[in-house]
Amino acid sequence: MYQISIAQTYLDLAILINGGMDTILLVLLGRLLKLPIRLSRISMAVLLGEIPVVVAYYSLPPWTLFIKWLIPFLMVFVAFPTTRLNAFLKEIVGFWLLSAGLGGFVYASWGWAQFDGGVNKERLILVINRVWILPLGALMWWLLQRLWQRWQEKKSFIGRNIFDLEINFGGDEQGVIQIKALLDTGNHLRDPLTGYPVILLEEEVAASAMPENIKAFLDIPWKDYADPWPLLWKVNPELVKRLVFIPFQTIDNKSWLLGIRPDSVTCFGAEGTQQIHATVALVRQVLSSEGEYQALLHPEHVQKGGDG
């Protein structure tokens, strides 16, 4: 009877600890992924998380392994229900990563503090001497959480401000490119002749769709000229209709960007498809190191429906 009482106490303790950890994990997951946190759903998910503890306690080998794999899926689905497969996979992966991180931290802290040896006088001094590990671990955990939140906020911002563009430079189908453009509120460039807002586009991306006469002009060292406008008349007067030099100010001096007037620019956004008036300026640097976008939109292309 005594042994049963002790075993029951250990089961209660395991259920309590497991429930507390599951609650922390689910709430933290919801905050990191900016999911709606509902106490009723979190409570139901935590109750589901107690099933593997009970099954392991009563030693039911045929079901233990299966339930250990199944329950996390059910917990995440109950806590944060979704019909989108990619969103659910993101949630379950996040739950596993947090579980591994928190579990590893607790296990390491337990071992480093040497709680397993008992709490006699000598051990108690040792624990006190090493108690700094716990706040240090908590600080590291908080910093990682903040970094994750900032990364999520950045991804969320970029996702809301990225648009699909189709730019037709003229000619056959090879003159059309499809890219992603980020709305850049700091882009105030305009075509000096037409007044159209400017789209900044990576030159390497545009090269595959540019007509041959424009490609040939890019090989000319026009940037060495203080005023490159006369080159258009000298090299090919027909290019005056298609090319334009857009002035911009750097910290050191005034410079130029080579602009191309495309046949058409189509923007695909949440409000539908629309044609926008724009001149495309070429830049040599990569605009997004992660390849999330290849161009920068002028604010007027969104604010005024692209009538520029």
Distance of alpha carbon 277 from alpha carbon 193, whole angstroms: 13
- Closest Cα partner for 95 from 72, 79, 69, 65? 72
Sign of CA dihedral 62, 68, 73, 76: positive
Distance of alpha carbon 299 from alpha carbon 305, whole angstroms: 10
**Contact predicate 82/88, CB 8 Å:** yes
Sign of CA dihedral 222, 225, 227, 229: negative
Write b or e for each residue in 78-93: b if 16 or more Cβ atoms lie within 10 A of its Cβ, otherwise e. bbbeeeeeeebeebbe
22, 164, 184, 307: which is the annotated catalytic residue? 184
Asked about 307 being catalytic, the answer comes back as no
The residues annotated as belonging to the active site are: 184
